């Protein structure tokens, strides 16, 4: 057992007290948070494990692509060596998140397929398909605003 002077006598005493105080603070902070972090990680693990394959694979795109089927259909329909273009129509009524980032997400998901402005494959979010005329062949649609179109160039 240390004497009181060991903790108080200048100059080493206050330094020892300061060090022990700080380490004790850290120990208390860790002791409070540690079980909570462990519980949260367990909960995260359970949630991640319970996800469907598609939810997990699309992950960050779930709030962007509107319909998971659209990205899977694009991956199945567009050949790996083909080029594609994601276009969002001016009148598209979906979220800003979709409008701003859907092309970027498709680029990530569809690699090694390359994006190109004049590509023959078009992933269409509320675009005007009539502008492609007879050259367009709709190969997939969600029944609404989303479609995958093959255009003869």
Partner 1 sequence: MSIQAVGAVAALNALYLAVGASLLWVVRSAGTWIDVVRLLGLAYVVGLVLTGLAWSFLLIAGVPFSLAVVLGVPILVTAGLLALGRARRRSLPTGARVDGGSSLVVTAVGVAAAGVLLEALLRSARLSGLYWFDGWSFWIPKAKAIYFFGGLDEQFFTELPGASYPILVPALDAAVFHVVGSADVLALHFQYWLFALGFVWALAGLLSERVPAWILWPCVLLLLVAPRIGRRFQVTEADLFLDYLFVLAAVLVAFWIVDGGRWRLLVAALLLCAIVNTKREGLLLATVLLAAALIATSRRWRARWPAIGIVALVAVAAAVPWRLWYVSRDVEGESGSQGLIRGDGRDLLWPSVRRSLDVLWDPGYWNLIVPVFIGALAVAALARVGRLAVFSGALVAFVVAGGVWATWNFSQTGAGFVLGGNFVIRFMGAAALLCAATAPLLLSAAWPTTRSEPRAGASRRVGLAAVIATLPLLAYPAITIAADGLPRFPTRDDCSRPARAGAPDVEVVYGRFDDPRSADQLLARLTAVGFVGAESAFDPCGRWKVSYDSVASFEQARELAEQVRTAGFEATVEYRS
The residues of the shown chain that bind partner 1, judged by CB under 8 A, are 11-12, 14-16, 18-19, 21-23, 25-27, 29-30, 33-34, 37-38, 40-42, 44-46, 48-49, 51-61, 68-69, 72-73, 75-77, 101, 104-105, 107-108, 111-112, 114, 139-140
Pairing of strands 121-125, 83-88: parallel
Strand partners of residue 146: 125
Q: Which one, 101 or 129, has the nearer CB to partner 1?
A: 101
CB 140, min distance to partner 1, A: 5
Taking every pair of Cα atoms in the chain, the longest distance, rounded to a whole number of angstroms, is 95
CB 77, min distance to partner 1, A: 7
Residue 116, CA distances (Å) to 85, 87, 124, 145 in order: 6, 11, 14, 21
Phi first, then psi: give them for residue 25, nearest 5 degrees.
-60, -45
CB 85, min distance to partner 1, A: 13
């Amino acid at each position: 057992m240390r004497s009181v002077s060991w903790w108080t006598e200048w100059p080493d005493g206050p330094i020892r007290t300061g060090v022990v105080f700080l380490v004790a603070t850290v120990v208390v902070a860790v002791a409070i948070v540690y079980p909570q972090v462990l519980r949260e990680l367990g909960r995260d693990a359970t949630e991640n494990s319970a996800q469907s394959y598609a939810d997990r694979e699309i992950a960050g795109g779930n709030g962007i692509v509107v319909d998971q089927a659209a990205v899977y259909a694009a991956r199945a329909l567009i050949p790996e060596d083909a080029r594609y273009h994601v276009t969002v129509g001016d009148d598209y009524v979906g979220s800003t998140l979709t409008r701003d980032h859907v092309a970027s997400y498709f680029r990530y998901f569809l690699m090694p397929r390359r994006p190109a402005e004049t590509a023959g494959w078009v992933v269409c979010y509320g675009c005007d398909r009539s502008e492609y005329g007879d050259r367009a062949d709709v190969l997939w649609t969600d029944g609404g605003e989303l479609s995958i179109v093959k255009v003869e160039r």
